[in-house]
Amino acid sequence: MGKIAFVFSGQGDQYPGMGKELAEKYPIAAQVYELCDRIRPGTSTQCFEGTEDELKETKNTQPCLFAMELAAASVLIEKGIVPNAVAGFSLGEVVAATVSGIFDNETGFRLVCKRGELMQREAEKFDTSMAAIVKLTPQQVQEICGKYADVYPVNFNCPGQITVSGRSSQMADFFAEVKTAGGRAIPLKVKGAFHSPFMNEAANAFAKELAQAETGKKTITLYSNMTAEPYSEDAIELLSKQICSPVQWEKIIRNMIADGVDTFIEIGPGKTLTNMIKKISTDVKAVSVTEYLAEVEEC
């Protein structure tokens, strides 16, 4: 029998009302939101009633997504669906680290609140943005980025899809070159050039926050955005440096499959990771948490 992995989504899939049905239907999900509200008042209100623009703000997006994702994971675990492995895309890695046992729920949430504040602070210093580039190879995207001083390939998502971060003033010309090469650029719903050198100071500041946080023993295998390999012991370096380093998502999924995972449950408000995984391999099952809960409750 194969292994189950929980994969936690990053910024971009958020939407007004996310998690409301979970909190209304499952007491354990409501308890997660209550914890988050005690630490950061108004978190559940932002999730359930916030506007799209409000949820786009990184200092809001990250805590709100963490709350929704931890609530959903808690529901599954309460139902006896415990993952053999976890991974998270960008901020999702903080949720994954929490579910793995490195942080307790309160510590994980406090850290993600700080992470969102630090990344927004850096994002506000520069006029930057992100875009997904489709229909080109990693080599093609890297070659085009190499022509620009401040455009970087940052997320290696799946075959034919790479995310770039860069200075906004250079993006129009960059997009034109992408089109000429046969690709297409899709701007993302985030404010900042994440996983690039623009985030170096945020990464350094977050390392200091992590160094002060209380940690526990990991009980579930956790894969790193930076290395695409399971964590050893140095969570501080891996979780801080991923803020300014590329996310090796395709490699993570291929490594998880090689290690025996054949079922991936995306924990988040959308299906972005599910769709990526289906492009990486047609031999595994990839479903959103909403779909998986519906399956479980039908049985």
Structural contact between residues 101 and 216, judged by C-beta atoms closer than 8 angstroms: yes
Across the beta sheet with 151-158, the strand order is: 151-158, 161-167, 128-134, 184-187
Task: Give dist(CA 284, CA 286) in Å, integer.
Answer: 6
The residue from 44, 74, 90, 288 that is catalytic is: 90
**196 catalytic residue (yes or no):** no
Q: Which of 44, 100, 195, 196 is catalytic?
A: 195
165 is catalytic: no
* Residue 1, C-beta contacts closer than 8 angstroms, at least 6 positions apart: none
Of residues 85, 61, 79, the one with CA closest to residue 13 = 61
Provide φ and ψ at 89, rounded to 5°. Answer: -90, 115
Taking the C-alpha atoms of residue 71 and residue 12, their distance in angstroms, rounded to an integer, is 18
Backbone φ/ψ region at 139: left (φ over 0), alpha (ψ -120 to 50), beta = alpha
Q: Which residues are catalytic?
A: 90, 195
